[in-house]
Structure 1
């Protein structure tokens, strides 16, 4: 009888490798604070909500990281939230910044946080158009999230204004996402009553 010796190799991956899923700038990389509490998001989710921060735009790594830190301070200190509201933030530099991420419930769209991923573009897009780099980053993030199993294969993209009373994601950004193949105007089964 031949004995087969099996060897199992256990790899321990650095924390940044695991968190850098989909090329996201991690909380550690943008010098963010840890959340005060977390709630796990049941995945995969079928809804991606696009919004904007209604803040100054950013186009460099330094200014975008500073904007994300400022936004986190606002959410923690002024709004008394556990963390940043949006799951991810996207700068005009074409980089995606980690908020609660794929795994944790965010606080971005009242009534929809426990069943969606919120992606917020940094800036005010009522009059300004998002950069091509920011749009490409959002599309790549969503595609990666679907490929990695964070999003359902038949996920839908909507603007926050379709679900709650807000101007977000701003007229110019809303016009852009309405041309994405995964955007929907059919809110049956999505919109809360």
Structure 2
């Protein structure tokens, strides 16, 4: 019994060490000063879809400027849109950090018809004419892999741009072209 307990502990430590290498540094809601959501809806996981957005706001390159942008986006979503929280599960800044939106296993409001079966990742900025920083793109890819390892995202997930699923320019023309080369890109949406 003790040997079995030790083996389970060692497996957990090993998995945790792997996660630490793959998972990007996620800035929690407390780190960036998020407001309290008005409601929280939980989703069944793992989710089969990852949807990439951009926020069409100024690009941020430091923790302070990205936290300010995240707070501004959340305030807009809660006040003007009357949504319960920031729309996205996660946001990615050009500083290479991931900012927790609604987070794992919670339903966002980023894509009508897909919210309950997807993780929405938004790059902070406007990426019609330029790409996010290399650090930001690496952080987003690492976040997706982290989600797979944690069992939040299906191993055989489909990756989409928001513009494939509704009438929007998101995630911007240049970023849209880039993500078509990412793992699990799906040219035609399943519904």
Q: Conserved in 1, the CA contact under 8 Å of 2:24 and 2:97?
A: no
Q: Conserved in 1, the CA contact under 8 Å of 2:58 and 2:126?
A: yes
**Which residue in the other structure is 1:126 paired with?**
128
How do 1:32-111 residues align onto structure 2 when only pairs under 5 Å count? 32-111=34-113
Q: Deviations over 1:59-111 (max 9, x none)?
A: 01110000000001101111111000011000000100011111210000111
- Normalized per residue, which structure has more helix? 2
Q: Conserved in 2, the CA contact under 8 Å of 1:84 and 1:99?
A: yes
Measure how far apart 1:179 and its partner are: 0.6
Q: Where in structure 2 are there 5+ consecutive unaligned residues?
A: 6-19
Of residues 109, 114, 117, the one that matches 1:115 is 117
| 2:99 partner SS | strand
TM-score, normalization: structure 2? Answer: 0.86
**Which residue in the other structure is 2:170 paired with?**
168
**Which residue in the other structure is 2:12 paired with?**
none
CA distance in 2, matches of 1:74, 1:142: 26
Measure how far apart 1:181 and its partner are: 2.1
CA distance in 2, matches of 1:140, 1:89: 13
CA distance in 2, matches of 1:175, 1:152: 24
**Which residue in the other structure is 1:14 paired with?**
none
TM-score, normalization: structure 1? Answer: 0.86
Whichever of the two has the greater Rg, that structure is 1
Q: Deviations over 1:150-177 (max 9, x none)?
A: 0111011110011111111100110110
CA distance in 1, matches of 2:67, 2:82: 21
Measure how far apart 1:23 and its partner are: 2.7
Of residues 144, 147, 155, the one that matches 1:145 is 147
**Which residue in the other structure is 2:137 paired with?**
135
Q: Conserved in 2, the CA contact under 8 Å of 1:22 and 1:145?
A: no
**Which residue in the other structure is 1:23 paired with?**
25
